[in-house]
């Protein structure tokens, strides 16, 4: 670029002395003889316009040697000379002006406009074009002048209306432009906007414009679009949206405009399908919000407040948030409403938001409830009946098999599940997939399920009926597995500050003492709280308030060697064979008693089971104690020390 410029400068330096004529000759010598014929014509005209260029020419070296910035301002500075030329309407002077003005720009553009002297094919083409043009305008047949004029023209366009007058005068030169490929299309539009200007050959110009436009309007056989509409759409989009640095993202805009064509076609088909689930869920959850309004009666409201089976989920969520745990305010509130729905529709004594279990396709929201006295019996009995039926069937099958095979193996008596309200079945659990969805009661857990659940590791899918495919085989489907895991997690992680609960005193104390353990506890009304710092520093200030599940799968040990009468009779018959193989007495499994401090929990793989910390070190006076289970990641407990 600089080299070119310096070259130009050298050339120009020669120029002033001879008023640019030698240069003309150089240009002419590379042209056809025909064009050389026109030279005399021009040379005649030189003297006429001589003073004008001369006055400007001495300036030109200065002008060119200045910084590129000056080049940019060039048109403004050099445009004054042209108006007088315009008046004279002599094309040749225009061409000359074009030469003068164009040279600095030429150095700017460097490669685009090829100098005929370079002798490239392109210049040859230009020469031809100038030959053609000769028939109509022989006096401006110089191809060089034309190319310079061209560069000037495009530059000028940038300066808009001010230079329009110049532009008009130069229309005559334009017909050559038609043959140049790199010409910008906007030129035509602008030219087109000024009809009647082209005095010399209007028909040719119009034809050129039309053919160019026709080319742009050619519809693509692939997409059915045409470039003309596409460009105008793009520009409309850019001007409408006015993005910053539009030139950087012009490709994306182009793509967006094209994409928009496709979207329109699919509108009617897709949108409705896609939106459906949104509405469905909104509709479901709307019921949650409307529920409170429906029972507006004051009495009911008072009753409700008095009953108070609903936990304050938001409050505990607030504390959990301090610990960095929680579902987010919005979701928590929806869960809250869903729990309210549950307590309204079921006879529930106490209710608690147990947590959320993530599944592959859907998640479970788990509520832990305790039914009011005597109101849950029906359900339980129903379940028992069905289960007994199942047992009967399976026993029948087994009998058949035994008859056939006559094996000595006797299936060990299944350990009975714990009755509701005791042990692992102390609470009843309800799950739903989403707040507002139906609450489903989980079946009570059997010891066998807990035992197997300890040996397998599976993902939940979110569908309760999914069979659990595992080894060892799990007795039941996902709802059973979920219930077993809930029981295990509860037993492992439900903790409270020491002294918050105390053992119940009124009911059945003697019986429990016989067993050597108590499983009833109640809130200690005299509990005064433990300092938060103490809770953080010592694990012995935390106790389990859910019974430990024995390796048998039950919380209260069941002696499998105690046989029912029928079995004992059978046993007697077979006893001689089995003698010595099975010890009559099995050692009773004993777990840690209820309300054992968690500091006695075992380490597994050198990992301490609990981590404690303050919720905030910045404002410790209002911080809460946070307890995190490392055994069951995701289980947290907090205490604010009150």
Partner 1 sequence: MDAESLLLSLELASGSGQGLSPDRRASLLTSLTLVKRDYRYDRVLFWGRILGLVADYYIAQGLSEDQLAPRKTLYSLNCMEWSLLPPATEDMVLQTSVVKGRFMGDPSHEYEHTELQKMSEGEKVFEEEVVVQIKEETRLVSVIDQIDKAVAVIPRGALFKTPFGPIHVNRTFEGLSLSEAKKLSSYFHFREPVELKNKTLLEKADLDPSLDFMDSLEHDIPKGSWSIQMERGNALVVLRSLLWPGLTFFHAPRTKSCGSIYVGTGEKNIDLPFML
Q: Give the interface with partner 1 as residue ranges (CB under 8 A).
A: 243, 249, 251-253, 256, 270, 274, 277-282, 285, 321-331, 355-356, 358-363, 457-459, 605-608, 611, 613, 615-619, 628, 630, 633-634
Closest to partner 1 by CB, 282 or 385:
282
Minimum Å gap between C-beta 640 and partner 1 is 14
| Smallest separation, CB 264 to partner 1 (Å) | 14
CA distance 232 to 451: 72
CB of 609 vs partner 1, minimal distance in Å: 10
Q: What's the rounded Cα separation, in Å, for the pair 492 and 430?
A: 20
Among 496, 501, 541, smallest CA distance to 519 is for 501
Least Cβ distance, residue 522 to partner 1 (angstroms): 30
If the CB atoms of residues 176 and 320 are measured against partner 1, the closer one turns out to be: 320
Handedness of CA 43, 47, 53, 59 (dihedral sign): positive
Q: Which residues contact 451 (CB under 8 A, 6 or more apart)?
A: 551, 552, 553
Between 202 and 326, CB nearer to partner 1: 326
CB of 256 to partner 1, least distance (A): 6
Residue with Cβ nearer partner 1 (225 or 325)? 325
Rounded-to-integer distance, Cα 319 and Cα 563, Å:
51
Beta carbons of 522 and 484 less than 8 angstroms apart: no
552 contacts 589 by C-beta, under 8 angstroms: yes
- Vertex 494, ends 490 and 497: CA angle to 5°? 170
- Please say which residue, 359 or 504, places its beta carbon nearer to partner 1: 359
| DSSP 8-state symbol, 607 | B
Based on the number of CB atoms within 10 Å of its own CB, is 453 exposed (0-12), middle (13-18) or buried (19 or more)?
Answer: buried
Q: And the tokens for 631?
A: 């055994």
- When the beta carbons of 195 and 328 are compared against partner 1, the nearer one is 328
SS3 327: coil
User: Using H for helix, E for strand and C for coil, what is the string for 510-525?
Assistant: HHHHHHCCCCCEEECC
Residue 324 Cβ, how far from partner 1 at the closest point, in Å?
4
CB closer to partner 1, 551 vs 611 = 611
Selection from 160, 4, 161, 146 nearest residue 68 by Cα: 4
How many whole angstroms separate alpha carbon 162 and alpha carbon 158? Answer: 10
**In terms of CB distance, is 37 or 275 closer to partner 1?**
275
Shortest CB 103 distance to partner 1, Å: 34
Report, in Å, the least distance between residue 617 CB and partner 1: 7
Of 215 and 459, nearer to partner 1 (C-beta) is 459
Minimum CB distance to partner 1 smaller for 151 or for 479: 479
In the complex, the smallest distance separating the C-beta of residue 243 from partner 1, rounded to whole angstroms, is 7
Of 467, 470, 533, 469, nearest to 497 by C-alpha is 533
Find the shortest distance in angstroms from Cβ 513 to partner 1: 39
| DSSP-assigned letter for residue 40 | H
- In angstroms, the CA 405 to CA 86 distance is 120
CB 339 within 8 A of CB 331: no
């Amino acid at each position: 670029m600089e080299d070119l410029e310096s070259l130009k400068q050298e050339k120009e330096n020669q120029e002033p002395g001879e008023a640019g004529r030698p240069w003309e000759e150089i240009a002419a010598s590379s042209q056809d003889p025909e064009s050389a014929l026109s030279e005399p014509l021009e040379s005649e005209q030189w003297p006429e316009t001589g003073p004008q260029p001369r006055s400007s020419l001495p300036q030109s070296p200065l002008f060119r040697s200045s910084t590129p910035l000056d080049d940019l301002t060039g048109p403004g500075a050099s445009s004054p000379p042209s108006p007088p030329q315009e008046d004279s309407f002599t094309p040749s002077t225009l061409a000359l002006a074009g030469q003068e003005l164009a040279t600095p720009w030429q150095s700017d553009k460097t490669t685009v406009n090829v100098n005929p002297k370079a002798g490239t094919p392109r210049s040859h083409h230009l020469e031809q074009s100038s030959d053609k043009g000769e028939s109509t305008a022989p006096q401006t047949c110089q191809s060089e002048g034309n190319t310079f004029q061209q560069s000037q023209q495009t530059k000028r366009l940038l300066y808009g209306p001010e230079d329009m007058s110049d532009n008009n005068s130069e229309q005559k030169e334009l017909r050559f432009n038609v043959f140049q490929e790199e010409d910008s299309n906007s030129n035509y539009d602008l030219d087109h906007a000024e009809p009647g200007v082209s005095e010399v050959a209007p028909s040719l110009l119009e034809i050129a414009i039309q053919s160019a436009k026709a080319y742009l309007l050619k519809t693509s056989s692939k997409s059915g679009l045409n470039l003309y509409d596409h460009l105008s759409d793009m520009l409309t989009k850019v001007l409408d949206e006015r993005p910053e640095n539009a030139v950087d993202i012009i490709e994306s805009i182009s793509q967006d405009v094209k994409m928009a064509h496709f979207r329109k076609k699919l509108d009617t088909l897709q949108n409705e399908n896609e939106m459906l689930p949104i509405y469905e869920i909104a509709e479901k959850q709307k019921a949650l919000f409307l529920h409170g309004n429906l029972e507006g009666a004051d009495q009911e409201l008072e009753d409700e407040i008095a009953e108070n089976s609903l936990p304050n989920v938001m409050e505990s969520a607030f504390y959990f948030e301090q610990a960095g745990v929680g579902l987010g305010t919005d979701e928590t509130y929806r869960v809250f409403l869903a729990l309210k729905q549950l307590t309204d529709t079921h006879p529930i004594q106490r209710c608690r938001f147990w947590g959320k279990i993530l599944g592959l396709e859907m998640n479970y929201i788990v509520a832990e409830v305790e039914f009011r006295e005597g109101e849950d019996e029906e359900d339980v009995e129903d379940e028992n009946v069905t289960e007994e039926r199942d047992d009967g069937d399976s026993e029948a099958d087994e009998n058949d098999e035994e008859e056939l095979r006559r094996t000595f193996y006797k299936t060990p008596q299944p350990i009975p599940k714990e009755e509701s309200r005791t042990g692992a079945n102390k609470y009843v659990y309800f799950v739903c997939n989403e707040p507002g969805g139906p609450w489903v009661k989980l079946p009570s857990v059997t010891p066998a399920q807990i035992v197997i659940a300890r040996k397998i590791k599976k993902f939940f899918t979110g569908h309760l009926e999914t069979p659990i495919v595992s080894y060892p085989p799990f007795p039941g489907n996902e709802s059973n597995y979920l219930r077993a895991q809930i029981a295990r997690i509860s037993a492992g992680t439900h903790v409270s500050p020491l002294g918050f609960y105390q053992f119940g005193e009124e009911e059945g104390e003697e019986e429990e003492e016989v067993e050597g353990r108590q499983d009833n506890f109640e809130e200690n009304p005299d509990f005064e709280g433990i300092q938060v710092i103490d809770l953080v520093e010592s694990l012995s200030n935390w106790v389990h308030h859910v019974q430990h599940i024995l390796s048998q799968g039950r919380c209260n040990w069941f002696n499998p060697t105690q046989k029912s009468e029928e079995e004992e009779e059978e046993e007697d018959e077979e006893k001689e064979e089995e003698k010595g193989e099975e010890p009559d007495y099995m050692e009773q499994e004993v777990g840690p008693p209820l309300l054992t401090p968690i500091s006695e929990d075992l380490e597994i793989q050198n990992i301490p089971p609990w981590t404690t910390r303050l919720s905030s070190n910045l404002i410790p006076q209002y911080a809460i104690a946070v307890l995190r289970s490392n055994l069951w990641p995701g289980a947290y407990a907090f205490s604010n020390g009150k």
